[in-house]
Amino acid sequence: MDIGSSVRSVEQCIAEAGNDITVQTSLLEARLICGDADLFARFRRYRETLDPRAFFQAKVLEMRQRHAKFQDTPYSLEPNVKESPGGLRDLQLILWITSAAGFGSSWRELHERGLITERETRELRAATKAFSRRCGRACT
């Protein structure tokens, strides 16, 4: 697995995110593991610059392109459970979009906000877990 890394200021992160939907998506998933909590809080304010509508439109376009590329994989002997329509990436897409819109970044949060039912929460969590197991943590 290739791991990408970079060193940027908060301002550079915001500028880079403005130019690349993949960077915006990565920044949405950022978590503080260790380090300066105040700096991380300042970094998390980049969300204020995020346009949820533009993010949604860009991610839907990205999804349509991915679906066109992988549309026949459900019928192959070794389907791509990450990228094919209905795969792990589509579940992640829902959470990225809801996170960008401020509705929540987990199935539980979406349930707590009344956006999905308890049953849907259980099913989505189970599906996410099954896909992650099937393709390995490296694919998430």
Give residue-wise pLDDT tens across range 86-126: 889 999 999 999 999 999 999 999 999 999 999 999 999 99
Range from 15-19, 83-87, 121-125 that averages highest in pLDDT? 121-125
Do 3 and 55 share a domain, yes or no?
Answer: no
Domain shared by 67 and 132, yes or no = yes
Average pLDDT, the chain: 88
Residues 40 and 58 in one domain: no
For residue 121, give Cα distances in angstroms to 91, 118, 124, 139.
12, 5, 5, 22
Q: Judge whether 105 and 95 are in contact, CB under 8 Å.
A: yes
Domain limit, last residue, from 18, 33, 50: 50
Same domain, yes or no, for 81 and 101?
yes
The residue out of 32, 50, 68 marking a domain boundary is 50
- Do 40 and 108 lie in one domain? The reply is no
Cα(46)–Cα(8) distance, integer angstroms: 13
State the total domains in the chain.
2
Domain span at 62: 51-140
Residue 138 has pLDDT above 70, yes or no: no
Q: Does the pLDDT of residue 137 top 60, yes or no?
A: no
Which one-letter amino acid corresponds to residue 19?
A: N
Q: Are residues 20 and 86 in the same domain?
A: no
Q: What pLDDT was estimated at residue 77?
A: 72
